[in-house]
Amino acid sequence: MRILVNMPSQYGGKASGVARVIFSLLERLLHQTDHHYILRSPWTRAQLPESLRDSRLQLMETPRPRIMVFDVVRQAAMLPVLCRLQGIDVVFNADPFGSPLGGRRRITLVHDLYFKTIPKQIGWRAALTTDIIFRLMMAGSDRISCVSDATRHDLSCFYPAAAGKSVTIHSDSTLTMDVGALNEVRPVAGPYILAVGNATSNKNFSLLGKAFARLGRAMPDLHVVHVGRDDAEEIAGMLDDPELKARLVRLSGINDRQLATLYRHAACLCVPSTYEGFCLPVLEAQQLGCPVICSDRSATPEIAGNGALTFDPADPDSLVSALERLFQEPGLADTLRKAGYENRKLYSWHRAAESYAQLFAERT
């Protein structure tokens, strides 16, 4: 079969979470199937990961659209013609900003529904236009894959007509590392709580700031290391003590090896999110033996499984209690590490590729 992997909404050369997931999946699909894959995106071959610079992967470069809703309509008019000319059997939309028409069948991947669960994060105009796009895409898709049961549940709540054709196919960690990362010097002296991700409203990093403001006074060597942007100072804004602020380390633009080193030496990964579609950092941490403490909302408890200590993200006391348990209970960190390793085995790009191959082979 000829399968068009449609990913026009991503920035070329910028490895977003969506792009990393699709590239990891594509690598396995190329290895496990004999299908021909055409990647339609703003990425050039030189920008792709080395593992995808494969002659079997055909590229169809397209500029990233300026106005998504107009581009979805344009794709609906243009893709059917392109698919006929290219002999495309399946259009696989890597996210819902693709085409509702084209090919013999269409499969759309839904990563999250932030615009419905936290509309204020993107504003009402963007939420409205995204809703229009979703309605078009859900109606035009033969099958809809969701990265978690939590996301699939949200989809069925907001778009009931899509429930019958949706399926959950879990992603896996996209973190690549080499052996050298395991031997690098710890980046921070003393124990530190690790937070990963840009400080958008769903990440709820202010809760971590509140917890650190209390714990940090009792533990003078404790640090917080945040990987990502925090333009509104969500964490630092909760710290009124200059000495505590000095123990907040913010990093951005780091590579996978540096991130792997941070996971390996962290006292824990803390995920205080109020909403996640999947949450890759949970699996990254479990992959590298980092204890996980995460919220009990949306997809995080599903993805973390038994390999995490959970807390209520609306309650600072709940997070403080979880962190105190980790630091005070002998053996708890090791228990979480072992459970994390076992939970990590449940996720596999090999199995994900098998599931997508089955979707591609279905007949309408």
What's the pLDDT tens digit per position in 301-327? Answer: 999 999 999 999 999 999 999 999 999
**Co-location of 286 and 217 in the same domain:** yes
**Inter-residue contact 7 to 19 (CB < 8 Å):** yes
Can you give the pLDDT at residue 184?
Answer: 64
Residue in 165, 188, 169, 53 with CA at minimum distance from that of residue 111: 169
User: Binning pLDDT at 50, 70 and 90, where does residue 191 land?
Assistant: very high
Backbone torsions φ then ψ of 223, nearest 5 degrees:
-120, 165
> Does the pLDDT value for residue 26 go beyond 90?
yes
Query: Domain range for residue 149?
Result: 2-172+348-361
Can you tell me the distance from the alpha carbon of 166 to that of 154, in angstroms, rounded to the nearest whole number?
A: 11
Beta strands in the chain (DSSP E): 2-6, 36-41, 57-61, 90-93, 105-110, 143-146, 166-168, 192-196, 223-227, 248-251, 268-271, 292-295, 308-311
> Does the pLDDT value for residue 182 go beyond 60?
no
Three-state secondary structure along 158-216?
HCHHHHHHEEECCCCCCCCCCHHHHHCCCCCCCCEEEEECCCCHHHCHHHHHHHHHHHH
**Co-location of 248 and 153 in the same domain:** no
CATH number at residue 233: 3.40.50.2000
Query: Quick one: angle between helices 124-140 and 68-86, nearest 10?
Result: 20
**What is the tens place of the pLDDT at every residue in 218-249?**
999 999 999 999 999 999 999 999 999 999 99
Across the range 11-37, mean pLDDT stands at 94
**Co-location of 193 and 168 in the same domain:** no
**Co-location of 314 and 187 in the same domain:** yes
Per the structure, the count of domains in the chain is: 2
**Co-location of 9 and 59 in the same domain:** yes
**Co-location of 167 and 206 in the same domain:** no
**Co-location of 166 and 69 in the same domain:** yes
**Co-location of 163 and 219 in the same domain:** no
> Does the pLDDT value for residue 183 go beyond 70?
no
**Co-location of 191 and 322 in the same domain:** yes
Instruction: Indicate the pTM of the whole model.
Output: 0.93
3-12, 48-57, 112-121, 162-171: the lowest-pLDDT one:
48-57
> What rounded mean pLDDT belongs to the chain?
94
172-181, 189-198, 234-243: the lowest-pLDDT one:
172-181
**What is the tens place of the pLDDT at every residue in 42-66?**
999 999 998 898 778 999 999 999 9
Query: Quick one: angle between helices 349-361 and 17-32, nearest 10?
Result: 70
**Co-location of 111 and 210 in the same domain:** no
**Co-location of 154 and 186 in the same domain:** no
**Co-location of 208 and 337 in the same domain:** yes
